[in-house]
Structure 1
Amino acid sequence: MTQAETDAFEKVSSGVYIEGLAIDHERDLIWYSDVIAGGIHGVKPDGTKVATLNPERMWTGGVAMNADGSVLSTGQGGIMWNNPDTGKSGWLLQEIDGKPINGINELMPDGMGGLFFGTNDIEMVIEGKAPRPTQLYRLSVEGELTKLADGLGFTNGIMFDATRQRFYCNDTFHGTWAFDVAADLSLSNRRMVIEKEDADGMCLDAEGNLWVTGFRSNFFTRLTTEGIRLPDYPTPGGSITQLRFGGADMRDIYFNSVPADGGDTLKDGGEIKAGDSFLFRGRSETPGLKLEPTRFQLR
């Protein structure tokens, strides 16, 4: 990618530390979270502000769409939902095995109405201490919860490919795991496909290539389904927490940029105040994989 193409990215919105990201195809909006300033913020592709949900809630690492238009969001205490049209909100999940949830980071629709998600140790993150091991789960559309994997260092970006045969999960300070997916959506054969000490968000393009962001990296790391490393995709950001494809042709790229040292500041328990985190938009020659919404019955 040339410097001119990199410069073609434009800033859409800003915050303190922008993290979760979802494309609302029905409303043609982008929803993103700010883990420090709080809230989930909805903007149009031109940056026009539309709404802010859960303005006081911090540490939302994942955002996704439900079929009724509700916005799902993770963080302390579990998974919440907000319907921007009705103003109603509630909790989708607050307990695991009868115990209150410490934290949930990223989530991904499972293609059958439910979702995959990874836990995180928000308690230790807030204190700037090493997090305890985390897990991967699936929540079916009927509300059945299944543990899929355990003993991960720090679950982050997750993706489920279009063939429903491969599942990916970032383990933040180690790299990207791939799993085989069975017919019942259980996971097996875990193997490391990218070693990366700042693995954060991820997305898939229409060709099945994996795009991985890094909280110390100003580029996308890309990998084919055969495990071949593609050229890195540079951006004008400091570091990148998450990316998603959108637009009518699925060739718009939206990504969240944070200060180059922002992730390490949070990891060490430091404080971030400056509003130099940005939502960027650019274009890709390859369209992205369109994510299906979940289909939970929310009341």
Structure 2
Amino acid sequence: MKFSLNPVLYLLLIPVLCNPLWAFQSEDLTPEFGFTAGIEGPAVDKEGVLYAVNYQEEGTVGRVDEDGNAEVFLKLPEGSIGNGIRFDRDGNMYIADYAGHKVYRVSPGSNTPEVYAEGPEMNQPNDLAISDTGVIYLSDPNWAEGTGNLWMVPRAGELVLLESDMGTTNGIEVSPDGKSLYVNESEQRKVWKYDIQHDGRVNNKKLLISFEDHGLDGMRCDAKGNLLITRYGKGTVVLVSPKGKVKREIRLKGKKPSNLAFGGRDGKTVYVTLADRGCVEKIRLPHKGSYYSKIH
């Protein structure tokens, strides 16, 4: 039997078939407004459990199961509010405290945060990334002045300034091979790439990509080295190649994605925190997350 498609229907389907925004559909993991507008820092532990800051109230860290059921995992000390979260290979959780100018560590099996590093000279530690050698990198924006710094914490209690007077530093990530550090500037809409040296310091700063409009927020790499960036205000996640070329852009339900993390049973589910909806959306991608692959 010969099948022919109505020409009008074919024309209507062309945008759907060709536009990468339609290639991957976002769906809700958690109900709207279970988290505050400060929802941020999604991260997945070795058991595949998702965590994000500011569940129900500011200053908390929420824990979310695969069905989207959430509960308060811990409360930070008075005066502290979390932003970025990461896990190391030993299962330690690290939380960037932008209000208290600290980085907390929570040991496996515990829900008691302990100060790992602090510095009153920081603006507000925002997001963090961890290298293969355990070095922590911190973005440190000054939103009022449109500037920012880049720090590293090579070990507990030691804070090293890598670069000052940048733009509003925000999303930060280490490449899968451990050789490059990516840092974005939200208001300037630029993503920078550095070479990581043996001592953890960085050099050879290069512009990877810049955007014409909308802000940049959290970033994660997949196992192939592609960089996923949340476009705050645009309501998308953009997939950028290691060469700095846009490969795909995925539309979300909300307009203010603040950060993202890989998880799920196969590491190919991306959890995105939405500030305007106070919830977590999820999308499926072809490749596992880079850091997810290393800790699982």
Q: Shorter-chain TM-score: what band?
A: 0.7 to 0.9
Which aligned pairs between 1:31-50 and structure 2 lie closer than 5 A?
Answer: 31-34=51-54, 37-50=58-71
**CA separation of 1:148/1:290 partners in 2, compared to 1, >3 Å: closer, same or farther?**
same
Whether 2:90 is the aligned partner of 1:72: answer no
Deviation at 1:50, TM superposition (A): 4.2
Whether 2:201 is the aligned partner of 1:186: answer yes
Q: What TM-score results when the alignment is normalised by the length of structure 2?
A: 0.80
Q: Equivalent residue for 2:286?
A: 285
Which aligned pairs between 1:241-280 and structure 2 lie closer than 5 A?
Answer: 241-259=258-276, 276-280=277-281
**CA separation of 1:117/1:242 partners in 2, compared to 1, >3 Å: closer, same or farther?**
same
Larger Rg: 2
Contact 2:118 2:159 in 1 (8 A): no
Q: Matched residues in 2 for 1:160 and 1:139: separation?
A: 14
- Equivalent residue pairs, number: 265
1:183 partner letter: H
1:247 partner letter: G
**CA separation of 1:2/1:107 partners in 2, compared to 1, >3 Å: closer, same or farther?**
closer
Q: Secondary structure at the match of 2:83?
A: coil
Deviation at 1:195, TM superposition (A): 1.8
Contact 1:114 1:141 in 2 (8 A): yes
Q: Secondary structure at the match of 1:290?
A: helix
Q: Secondary structure at the match of 2:25?
A: helix
**What is the CA RMSD across the aligned residues, in angstroms?**
2.5
Of 144, 162, 171 in structure 2, the residue corresponding to residue 157 of structure 1 is 171
Q: Matched residues in 1 for 2:172 and 2:23: separation?
A: 31
Q: Matched residues in 2 for 1:87 and 1:247: separation?
A: 22
Q: Deviations over 1:24-65 (max 9, x none)?
A: 123x21110139733111111211224332266664221112
Deviation at 1:245, TM superposition (A): 0.9
Deviation at 1:67, TM superposition (A): 4.7
Whether 2:215 is the aligned partner of 1:201: answer no
Gaps of 5+ in 2: 1-19
Of 63, 73, 84 in structure 2, the residue corresponding to residue 62 of structure 1 is 84
Which aligned pairs between 1:82-93 and structure 2 lie closer than 5 A?
Answer: 82-83=106-107, 85-93=109-117
Q: Matched residues in 2 for 1:255 and 1:106: separation?
A: 15
Contact 2:104 2:114 in 1 (8 A): yes
Q: Matched residues in 2 for 1:50 and 1:84: separation?
A: 18
Which aligned pairs between 1:98-117 and structure 2 lie closer than 5 A?
Answer: 99=120, 101-117=122-138
Q: Equivalent residue for 2:11?
A: none
2:95 partner letter: S
Residue range with higher mean Cα deviation, 184-193 or 110-119? 184-193
2:65 partner letter: K
Q: Matched residues in 1 for 2:267 and 2:278: separation?
A: 24
Whether 2:220 is the aligned partner of 1:220: answer no
